[in-house]
Amino acid sequence: MKYTVDKKGFYGNYGGAFVPEMLFPNLDELEKNYNEIINDPSFQEDYNKLLKDYVGRPTPLYFAERMSEKYKCKIYFKREDLCHTGAHKINNTVGQILLAKRLGKKRIIAETGAGQHGVATATVCALAGIECVIYMGAVDIKRQAPNVARMKMLGASIVAAESGSKTLKDATNEAIRDWINNPITTHYIIGSVVGPHPYPDMVAKFQSIVSEEIKSQLYEKEGTESPDYLIANIGGGSNAAGLYYHYLEDEKVKIISVEAAGEGVKSGKSAATSVLGKTGIIHGSKTLLMQTKDGQIIEPYSISAGLDYPGVGPLHAHLLESKRADFMSITDSDAMLAGLEVSKLEGIIPAIETAHAFAAFKYLDFKPNEIIVVNFSGRGDKDLNTYIDYFNL
Amino acid sequence: MNRIDKKLREEGKLLSIYFTAGFPNLNDTADIIIKLQESGVDMIEIGLPFSDPLADGPTIQDSSMSAINNGMNTDILFNQLKDIRDKVSIPLIIMGYFNPILQYGVEKFCKKCNEIGIDGLIIPDLPIDYYLENYKSIFEKNKLYNMFLIAPQTSDDRIRKIDSISKGFIYMVSSSSITGSKNSFSSEQINYFERIEKMNLHTPRIIGFGVGNKETFNVTVNYSKGAIIGSAFIKNLHENGVDSIDSFIKSIR
């Protein structure tokens, strides 16, 4: 298996657990237990029940007829935007909250940027009746007031990260520091396929339901389990990991990962890690990240708060290096126009993160019979203000 | 013999000071080191600043950010230290997160340290097994000790393993916390100090994190060879400047 994590927690040259000794016991406990817990039939039963009755799975695989006509190929949307809380994020938090309960944890912490993962975490904590503390950059708290209110309604405490640039990267630092200070009582629910081993693998496994469902859904519609292309937007890379998971070893299925170019790859305001990143260590993982020549981490930029992470998960760094995935960088303006186009052609308003994946179509050429599955990772309600300001709606 | 070993063999308890290079001013580094030696400090950890210091509290986070904004980087630090051994004889350790060292090049970094007369490194986020597999020989070639951390949740087995591969001293983190958190010790911490002392490790232990005044220093050295003060020293430096170093050290012992 070329694209799964090895025994030491690496995907090829990337991954590992580069954390201070204080975190070693926490990660060791997770590492020793997570596979056993996840594979336990009674866990699977609980997990699948919640995915069905609470999250609303399976999500539809929808044939997008008018988009297909326009781009002269067969485009399917995997409708993760229809999940409870409006994005794929909850697949992971449902899994991790069940895991935390089995580990006997009494308190949950999480980081959030735009607030989507924070909401998904606060939601499952309410469901489980477990204390929830969300770290969020002070700057993001101001920018994302509706999601802050949602988390509060769900009973979570919000702690402002005042260090560094006061955004997602710093919220993640603060959550890790909290975990150092509370090693026994607390489980840290990371929101993407980032961080130290075993998080990238664990989060990918919880998101793998996306590609698992696509296999049977596509077979029903097209008589084949395998599309020609998979396209996903990528910040840390959790929706992409879910979309690719069961197809990684099937190299006939081509993969396109779409990252945020912000105002342009060379503008100095970008989050295009595949172009601008160099191998280094961020949040305990060896991966591609945006940094100065001295190794200081650079704050990225994208109009989409879910994509402005200065690194990518180690799986994605490996997929890029091994050429299993192609990467594309899409600017703010292309993404915004694509968001509008999908809304008008298909009657579904995408999250701006998701809109990046759709913007790729105008730069790609497909054959009429080729099947492309796009992960419709989230809905656009949370981005309405940004759309309003951008298009003077 | 490595200066660290030599110092550890001396009678009495050691006082070691951590400071962030490039703070409060970019070019204070050599001056701070010389003043620390003059005031009787036994050993110094020179902090190479990093933008995202996971194990550090607000004081060291802020001093790191100031140092980076002042323009500090690895080349400048090495340049500031190039003649330091003309004036300073106590052990000098560079402490920093792994990414800046990785970007500089681990081998080149170690070689530079050796040229300058650095005695060891403390890299909190470099995992032990990864070090043993990839860098041990480079460290040894450059006569550098790599000091490892233990913490209250570290298992006995792992402490034994760390003890068996350690050179110099074991950096014993006083509590499950980031740096600078507290200025007194709980009974739980004292139990931990006693538990580790009873393990009779080969490697001497120096206690750090949460040591910041005479009282906490005196308690920790009851259970170890010495103690490291970081955040409290940096706080004093921030408030009272480089000229207050001697009086700060005299307030500890």
Task: Look up the ipTM and state it.
Answer: 0.96
* CATH classification for the domain delimited by A25-50+89-203, as one of 2.70.98.60, 3.40.50.720, 3.30.70.270, 3.40.50.1100: 3.40.50.1100
Residues A227-242 pLDDT 10s: 999 999 999 999 999 9
Does residue B56 have an active-site annotation? yes
Q: Does the pLDDT value for residue B252 go beyond 70?
A: yes
Question: Which residues does chain A have within 8 Å of residue B97's beta carbon, measured at their own beta carbons?
Answer: 281
Give me the half-sphere count of Cα atoms (radius 13 Å) on the Cβ side of residue A243: 35
Nearest residue in B to A279, CA atom: B103
The pLDDT assigned to A163 comes to 85
- Chain A, nearest residue to B127 by Cα: A18
User: Could you report the per-residue pLDDT of B223-248, keeping only the tens digit for each?
Assistant: 999 999 999 999 999 999 999 999 99
Reported as a single tens digit per residue, the pLDDT across A179-224 is: 999 999 999 999 999 999 999 999 999 999 999 999 999 999 999 9
User: CA A371, CA A226: separation in Å to the nearest integer?
Assistant: 9
φ, ψ of residue B206 in degrees (nearest 5): -120, 130
Name the nearest CA neighbour of B23 among B82, B72, B75, B67: B67
**Å between B67 CA and nearest CA of chain A:** 12
Average of per-residue pLDDT across A37-64:
98
What digits encode the pLDDT tens for the residues B83-142? Answer: 999 999 999 999 999 999 999 999 999 999 999 999 999 999 999 999 999 999 999 999
The Cα B113–Cα B121 span in angstroms is 9
Residues of A with active-site annotation: 89, 111, 377
pLDDT surpassing 90 at residue A278? yes
pLDDT at B1: 87
Measure B109 CA to nearest chain A CA, in Å.
12
Tell me which of A103-117, A161-175, B145-159 is least confident: A161-175
Specify the pLDDT at position A208: 98
Check pLDDT > 80 for residue A63. yes
Mean pLDDT, residues B200-213: 96
Strands (E), chain A: 10-11, 14-15, 61-63, 74-79, 107-112, 131-137, 157-161, 186-188, 229-233, 254-262, 278-282, 285-289, 325-331, 371-376
**For A293, nearest residue in chain B (alpha carbons):** B103
Higher-confidence residue: A166 or A367?
Answer: A367
For residue B181, pLDDT over 70 is answered with no
Looking at the DSSP assignment, which residues form a beta bridge with residue B120? Answer: B93, B145
Distance CA B53, CA B246 (A): 28
Q: Cβ contacts (< 8 Å) between A26 and chain B: which residues?
A: 153
* pLDDT value for A88: 98
Q: Is B188 designated active site? A: no
**Per-residue confidence at A143, pLDDT binned at 50, 70, 90?**
confident
Mean pLDDT (chain B, rounded): 97
> Domain-by-domain residue ranges, chain A?
25-50+89-203, 58-87+209-391
Q: Are both A25-50+89-203 and A58-87+209-391 of the same fold?
A: yes
Bridge partner residues of A64 (DSSP): none
Residue A38 in contact with residue A204, Cβ under 8 Å? no
For chain B, which domains are there?
14-252 (3.20.20.70)
Residue A142's pLDDT is 86
CA separation (Å) from A291 to A202, A278, A288, A391, B102? 26, 7, 9, 33, 12
Interhelix angle B245-252/B214-221, nearest 10 degrees = 50
Confidence at A61, pLDDT banded by 50, 70, 90: very high
Q: Are B123 and B98 in contact (CB under 8 A)?
A: yes
Residue B75, CA distances (Å) to A32, A255, A281, B39 in order: 41, 41, 20, 28
pLDDT at position A7: 94
Q: What CATH topology corresponds to A58-87+209-391?
A: Rossmann fold (3.40.50)
